């Protein structure tokens, strides 16, 4: 690979004016920064800065990445403040490397902690959010800025308290945290990768002075792909019917009104599906669809062997998904399954002409 050439597919290729960041999550090489569409330094060395061996730029340290991204965000806000106050708004998308693996808190957050370095990393993320909010305050932009803080998935169950604490290797992982009274999934079932709520239900915090009432809680249904339609509606931008075909604006929810989304397709790391309609949730598979499907009972059978082929939960009454109602409500299972199949066949979940899926989609995959 020729690292001296511009990136052929960077954020600039998708509408962003500027970009600063890394190649993906911090455990993905090459380990170097990217500014706009070029690497800031060539990865002429090899290291395990991200936890895996890969090309590395001289001087690159995983410990520095979160502080560097945070500083760039502060500088961007400062640079855009005057124009923003004059009526030219800005959009800042700030995806962090933390608290994803590798777990590398730095500075005052790298210390002994009862819950290990992961807890320090989470605290450092909190500091980053605070610095961004402080930058908005400092430049007089807080009252006119919508800030959203969210996450892409539930807790990674292989991350525990100490370095190398990996339940896949029999070293505890999330169970070590839970034994200390810290439950990353709260009372929800499952973790990252899985169709259960612990895998998909994530924090979603919004601050918008004058619109979002402080201290309120919203029970509306939304997915992170709804950010596209919401941002477009906020600025009055049109986009083709063939774009963002699963995105529904949640602007009404921010304004305290009824939401527009009534159902939601969910997907797991193993390619299994679930479908939400209001508080009802159909899991079109007998297991989690994620990491726990690989676990086995003492007799060698898989944990989901012999279980019903479908799971139906009433999240209003049973948010922890402890009671499978599929056998009691076969008609609801049939109707939700048909809605899922219709969405897959149409290649979209919003009104409009059917779209072709990027790859053939199979709901009931062959069990390996």
List pLDDT tens digits, range 348-362: 999 999 999 999 999
DSSP string, 189-229: S--TTSSSHHHH---EEEE-TTTSPTT--------TTHHHH
Q: What pairing do the DSSP bridges indicate for beta strands 54-56 and 45-47?
A: antiparallel
Residue 4 buriedness (CB in 10 A; 0-12 / 13-18 / 19+): exposed
- Helices 116-138 + 65-85 axis angle, to 10: 20
pLDDT of residue 113: 87
Cα 26 to Cα 101: distance, rounded to the nearest angstrom: 7
pLDDT-derived band at 251 (thresholds 50, 70, 90) equals very high
Contacts of 358 (CB under 8 A, 6+ apart): none
Q: What pairing do the DSSP bridges indicate for beta strands 54-56 and 147-150?
A: unpaired
pLDDT of residue 170: 53
Give the number of other Cβ atoms within 10 Å of residue 50's Cβ: 25
User: What is the pTM assigned to this prediction?
Assistant: 0.94
pLDDT tens digits, one per residue of 92-110:
999 999 999 999 999 999 9
pLDDT of residue 169: 58
Whether residue 164 contacts residue 176, with contact meaning beta carbons closer than 8 Å, is answered with no
Q: Please say if the pLDDT value at position 330 is more than 80.
A: yes
**Which letter does DSSP use for residue 257 in this model?**
S
pLDDT tens digits, one per residue of 58-74:
999 999 999 999 999 99
Cα 76 to Cα 135: distance, rounded to the nearest angstrom: 10
Residue in 262, 288, 285, 284 with CA at minimum distance from that of residue 200: 288
Domains in the chain, start-ordered, CATH in brackets?
263-346 (3.30.1120.10)
Q: Please say if the pLDDT value at position 201 is more than 90.
A: yes
* φ/ψ (deg, to 5) at 329: -130, 65
Cα 111 to Cα 130: distance, rounded to the nearest angstrom: 20
pLDDT tens digits, one per residue of 155-187:
999 888 776 555 555 567 888 889 889 999 999
How far from 299 is each of 153, 290, 305, 367, CA to CA, in Å? 32, 21, 11, 19
Whether residue 57 contacts residue 31, with contact meaning beta carbons closer than 8 Å, is answered with yes
**Cα-only R_g, the chain:** 22
pLDDT of residue 176: 85
Mean pLDDT on 29-39: 98
Cα 115 to Cα 99: distance, rounded to the nearest angstrom: 14
**Which letter does DSSP use for residue 299 in this model?**
T
Kindly report whether the peptide bond that precedes residue 217 is cis, defined as omega within 30 degrees of 0.
Answer: no
Torsion of CA 153, 158, 164, 167, to 10 degrees: 170
pLDDT tens digits, one per residue of 275-304:
999 999 999 999 999 999 988 899 999 999
């Amino acid at each position: 690979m020729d690292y001296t050439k511009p990136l052929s597919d960077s954020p600039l290729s998708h509408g962003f004016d500027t970009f600063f960041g890394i190649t993906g999550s911090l455990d993905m090489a090459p380990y170097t920064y990217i500014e706009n569409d070029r690497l800031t330094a060539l990865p002429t060395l090899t290291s395990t800065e991200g936890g895996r061996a890969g090309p590395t730029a001289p001087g690159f340290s995983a410990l520095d990445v979160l502080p560097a991204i945070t500083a760039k965000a502060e500088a961007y806000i400062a640079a855009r403040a005057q124009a923003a106050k004059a009526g030219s708004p800005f959009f800042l998308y700030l995806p962090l490397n933390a608290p994803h693996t590798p777990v590398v808190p730095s500075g005052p957050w790298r210390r002994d902690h009862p819950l290990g370095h992961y807890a320090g990393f989470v605290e450092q993320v909190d500091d980053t959010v605070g610095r961004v909010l402080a930058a908005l305050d400092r430049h007089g932009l807080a009252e006119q800025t919508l800030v959203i803080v969210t996450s892409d998935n539930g807790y990674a169950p292989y991350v525990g308290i100490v370095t190398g604490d990996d339940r896949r290797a029999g070293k505890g992982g999330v169970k070590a945290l839970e034994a200390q009274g810290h439950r990353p999934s709260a009372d929800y079932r499952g973790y990252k990768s899985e169709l259960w709520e612990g895998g998909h239900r994530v924090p979603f915090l919004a601050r918008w002075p004058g619109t979002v009432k402080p201290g309120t809680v919203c029970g509306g249904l939304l997915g992170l792909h709804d950010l596209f339609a919401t941002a477009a509606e906020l600025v009055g931008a049109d986009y083709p019917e063939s774009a963002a075909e699963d995105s529904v604006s949640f602007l009404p929810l921010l304004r305290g009104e009824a939401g527009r989304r009534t159902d939601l397709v969910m997907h797991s790391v193993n390619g299994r599906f679930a479908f939400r309609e209001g508080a009802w949730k159909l899991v079109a598979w007998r297991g989690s669809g994620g990491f726990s499907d690989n676990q086995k009972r003492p007799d060698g059978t898989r944990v989901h062997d012999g279980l019903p082929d479908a799971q139906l939960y009433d999240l209003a009454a049973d948010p922890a998904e402890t009671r499978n109602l599929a056998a009691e409500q076969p008609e609801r299972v049939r109707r939700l399954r048909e809605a899922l199949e219709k969405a897959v066949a149409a290649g979209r979940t919003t009104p409009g002409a059917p779209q072709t899926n990027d790859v053939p989609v199979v709901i009931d995959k062959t069990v390996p």
